[in-house]
C-alpha cells in the first residue's frame, strides 16, 4: 500500500488529507497528516481580537475533530526532509517514509528579520501577538499610531488595510479618535498593490483622516526613539507601532534544495508540483508563488493536488493532466462600520471589486462561523 504523507494541519493540509481520504480507497493508500499542533487555527479571525470583537479561544478547534477517520494524525514538528530516501524526520526522531508527499507547512512570522521589530512593534498575525495588541490598544489614550506592512512576503495582503479601517472605527467608538493621529504605510506608490483596490481605499482613508505614507519599506525600528525607518529613507515617529512582520517558510525548509533561503518551496504555478520532484506537491503559504498567501489560495489549490496525486498513484496521469490551478483567490475586505467588499481573481482575470456593503460584511461574519463545517472538511 502506498504511503501519502501530508505535512501541515492548516487549511491546505487538512483539506488535502480529507479530500484524499474521500477520493482514494483504503487499500490504495494510507494517508498520514503531520501537524506541529493538535489545534487547527482560523487565522483570519485574529484581525478582530485586538478590538475585543473576537475571543481568541473561539478561533481554534482540535485538529482531530476536523479529519476523516481514516486519516492518521501524527503530532510532531518536522525537522528534516530527505528527498533521496523519501523520509521525513520529526523532532522526537520519528521517521515517516513516503511515496507521495504534500507540503502544507505554511508560513511563520519572522519579526527578527527587521532590527528592533520585536522590541518596538505590535502585530496581529499570531494568537499571542493579537492578544498583546488588544492590551496595548485598551491602554492607549491618544497619540500617534503607525500601521503598515513591515516585511515581505506577508500573509493576507489586504489585512493591514482592513485593520486600519477597523482601528478608525474602534478609536471613534472610544471617543479618542480626535486625540489620535493615524498613519497608514505601504511599500508601493499607492495604498495597495491592486490599482482598483487602491482607488477604492485611498478616498476612504482620506475621508477618515488617515495620513498616507507610500513608498515605505520598513528597514528598522528604533524602540528607544520610537521611530520606524524605511529603506527609502523616511522616519516616522510613533507612540504605537503596528506592523505586519515579514514571514518565512517552515524552518526545515529554509535553505533546503527544494526551497529558497527563506523556505518558500519552488512550485509549478499550474500543477503545484515541487519543481524537479514528481511525487511532491506544495500549496498555500508554503509555495514560492508570488500570489496571495491566504487560506482561500490553499482552498482552491487543494483539489488540483488531490486529482494529480490520485492520477499518479493510479497510473492514469494522462487523464488528469488538464487539472490545473488557474490562480483563483477570493478574499473579503472589511472597510469598517459594518461594511465590506470582496475580491475574486485568477491568473488571467484581474480582481473585480464589489462596492463596500453591509451585505458583504455579514457574508464574511457568516463565513467566519461556517468555516469549520465547510472548508477544512471539503464540503465547500
Partner 1 sequence: MQSITITREADARGSFCPGPLLELIRQIKMAQVGDVIAVISSDEGSKKDIPAWLAKAKQEFLGMEEVDGATRFICRKIK
- Kindly state whether residue 212 participates in binding partner 1, applying the rule CB under 8 A: no
**Which residue in 62, 193, 199, 359 binds partner 1 (CB under 8 A)?**
193
Q: Is 346 in the site for partner 1 (CB under 8 A)?
A: yes
Contact status: 373 vs partner 1 (CB under 8 A): no
Radius of gyration of the chain, Cα coordinates, nearest whole angstrom: 21
217 binds partner 1 (CB under 8 A): yes
User: What span, in angstroms and rounded, lies between the C-alpha atoms of 343 and 145?
Assistant: 28
Among 9, 44, 150, 187, binds partner 1 (CB under 8 A): 187
SS3 325: coil
Q: Is 157 in the site for partner 1 (CB under 8 A)?
A: yes
| Residue 160 sits in the site that holds partner 1 (CB under 8 A) | no
By beta-carbon proximity to partner 1, the closer residue of 290 and 315 is 290
C-alpha cell at 164: 486600519
Within 78-214, residue ranges assigned H as helices are 117-120, 127-139, 159-173, 195-207
- Number of residues forming the site for partner 1 (CB under 8 A): 32
Q: Does 50 bind partner 1 (CB under 8 A)?
A: no
- In the set 64, 75, 194, 320, which binds partner 1 (CB under 8 A)? 194
CB of 79 to partner 1, least distance (A): 24
Of the candidates 269, 314, 324, 354, which one interacts with partner 1 according to CB under 8 A? 269
The answer for residues whose C-beta is within 8 angstroms of residue 314's C-beta and 6 or more apart is 28
Which CB, 120 or 157, lies closer to partner 1? Answer: 157
State in angstroms the smallest separation of the CB of 174 from partner 1.
Answer: 32
| Cβ within 8 Å of residue 93, ≥6 positions away | none
Nearer to partner 1 by Cβ, of 127 and 288: the residue is 288
Q: Are 86 and 96 in contact (CB under 8 A)?
A: no
Asked whether position 106 contacts partner 1 by CB under 8 A, the answer is no
- Contacting residue, 9, 45, 150, 153, with partner 1 by CB under 8 A: 153
Q: Which residues contact 211 (CB under 8 A, 6 or more apart)?
A: 181, 182, 183, 184
By CB under 8 A, is residue 253 in contact with partner 1?
A: no
Closest CA to 87 of 329, 280, 221, 326: 280
327 binds partner 1 (CB under 8 A): yes
Q: Are strands 29-35 and 100-103 parallel, antiparallel or unpaired?
A: unpaired
Q: DSSP string spanning 47-87?
A: GGGGGTSS-GGGGEEEGGGGS-TTEEEEE--EEEEETTTTE
Member of 139, 189, 224, 379 binding partner 1 (CB under 8 A): 189
Binding of residue 345 to partner 1 (CB under 8 A): yes
Spacing of C-alpha 197 from chain mean position: 19
Cis omega before residue 153 (within 30°)? yes
Residues of the shown chain interacting with partner 1 in the complex, contacts defined by CB under 8 A: 152-154, 157-158, 187-189, 193-195, 215, 217, 231-232, 260-262, 269, 289-292, 327, 329, 343, 345-348, 350-351
Amino acid at each position: 500500500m502506498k504511503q501519502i504523507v501530508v505535512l501541515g494541519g492548516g487549511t491546505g493540509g487538512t483539506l488535502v488529507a480529507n479530500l484524499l481520504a474521500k477520493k482514494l480507497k483504503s487499500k490504495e493508500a494510507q494517508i498520514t497528516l503531520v501537524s506541529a499542533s493538535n489545534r487547527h487555527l482560523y487565522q483570519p479571525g485574529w484581525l478582530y481580537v485586538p478590538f475585543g470583537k473576537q475571543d481568541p479561544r473561539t478561533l481554534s478547534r482540535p485538529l482531530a475533530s476536523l479529519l476523516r477517520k481514516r486519516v492518521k494524525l501524527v503530532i510532531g514538528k518536522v525537522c528534516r526532509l530527505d528527498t533521496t530516501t523519501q523520509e521525513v524526520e520529526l523532532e522526537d526522531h520519528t521517521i515517516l517514509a513516503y511515496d507521495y508527499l504534500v507540503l502544507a507547512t505554511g508560513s511563520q512570522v519572522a519579526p527578527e528579520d527587521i532590527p528592533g521589530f520585536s522590541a518596538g512593534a505590535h502585530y496581529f498575525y499570531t494568537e499571542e501577538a493579537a492578544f498583546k495588541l488588544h492590551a496595548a490598544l485598551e491602554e492607549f489614550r491618544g497619540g500617534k499610531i503607525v500601521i503598515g506592512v513591515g516585511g515581505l512576503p506577508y500573509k493576507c495582503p489586504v489585512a493591514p488595510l482592513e485593520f486600519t479601517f477597523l482601528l478608525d472605527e474602534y478609536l471613534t467608538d472610544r471617543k479618542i479618535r480626535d486625540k489620535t493621529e493615524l498613519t497608514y504605510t505601504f511599500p508601493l506608490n499607492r495604498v495597495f498593490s491592486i490599482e482598483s483596490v487602491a482607488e477604492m481605499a485611498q478616498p476612504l482613508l482620506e475621508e477618515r483622516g488617515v495620513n498616507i505614507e507610500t513608498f515605505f519599506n520598513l528597514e528598522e525600528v528604533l524602540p528607544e526613539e520610537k521611530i520606524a525607518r524605511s529603506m527609502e529613507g523616511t522616519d516616522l515617529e510613533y507612540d504605537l507601532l503596528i506592523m505586519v512582520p515579514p514571514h518565512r517558510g517552515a524552518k526545515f525548509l529554509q535553505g533546503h534544495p527544494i526551497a529558497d533561503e527563506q523556505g518558500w518551496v519552488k512550485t509549478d504555478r499550474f500543477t503545484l508540483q515541487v519543481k524537479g520532484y514528481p511525487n511532491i506537491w506544495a500549496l498555500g503559504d508554503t509555495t514560492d508563488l508570488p500570489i496571495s498567501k491566504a487560506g482561500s489560495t490553499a482552498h482552491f489549490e487543494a483539489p488540483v493536488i488531490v486529482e494529480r496525486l490520485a492520477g499518479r498513484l493510479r497510473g492514469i496521469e494522462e487523464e488528469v493532466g488538464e487539472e490545473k490551478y488557474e490562480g483563483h483567490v477570493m478574499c473579503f475586505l472589511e472597510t469598517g462600520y459594518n461594511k465590506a467588499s470582496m475580491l475574486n481573481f485568477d491568473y488571467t482575470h484581474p480582481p473585480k471589486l464589489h462596492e463596500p456593503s453591509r451585505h458583504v460584511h455579514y457574508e464574511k461574519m457568516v463565513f467566519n462561523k461556517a468555516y469549520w463545517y465547510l472548508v477544512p472538511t471539503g464540503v465547500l
